[in-house]
Amino acid sequence: MEYRQIVSVTGLSGLYQLVTTKSDGAIVRNLADKTTKFISARNHNVTPLDSIEVYTTGENVRLHEVFLKMKENEATTPVLDVKSAGKNDILKYFRVVFPEFDEERVYQSDMKKMVKWYEILKSNDLLNFDAPVVEGEEGEVAANAE
């Protein structure tokens, strides 16, 4: 499974692997319990994690960059248990792990969700992110090959 296949589904907690899309929805597999289900496009929106950005005090960053910072700092700053952590604990954690985040635009619920998602990805050994494909030379080579 690749990182670009991992999605968040509105109205459902956790993370999912996008198995296939259909004209009226999608089939997804829950990463936690491995159950597969159909989700209707009428009731749910599917958002790939690869497309999510986090507000910072400078340029916004992709979500996987925050996960990488969390992974790098895990030895010195253990990941919080969001169920028992208070608002100040979560803020302190992100100030240490990712000090560039914009405290005014990144809500506590967003921070909790990032920690929960990190734990899900870690438990499924999905924290090895592929380097994003940069348009340019590689794209031109692929276009010329056709």
Question: pLDDT tens-digit profile of 129-143?
Answer: 764 444 444 444 333
Q: What is the pTM of this model?
A: 0.81
Specify the fold of 52-123. Answer: Arc Repressor Mutant, subunit A (1.10.10)
List, for residues 70-113, the tens digit of each pLDDT value.
Answer: 999 988 888 888 788 887 899 999 999 999 999 999 999 999 99
Q: Give the separation between CA 37 and CA 29, rounded to whole angstroms.
A: 6
| Distance from the Cα of residue 76 to its chain's centroid | 22
The pLDDT of residue 87 is 79
Q: What is the mean pLDDT of residues 30-41?
A: 94
Burial class of residue 112 (count of CB atoms within 10 Å of its CB; 0-12, 13-18, 19+): middle
Give the per-residue pLDDT at 85.
80
- Written as six digits, the tokens of 28 are 């997804």
Using DSSP's 3-state secondary structure scheme, residue 21 falls into: strand
Q: What is the pLDDT of residue 138?
A: 42
The domain segmentation of the chain, as residue ranges, is 3-49, 52-123
Burial of 113 (0-12, 13-18, 19+ CB in 10 A): middle
* Residue 83: per-residue pLDDT: 80
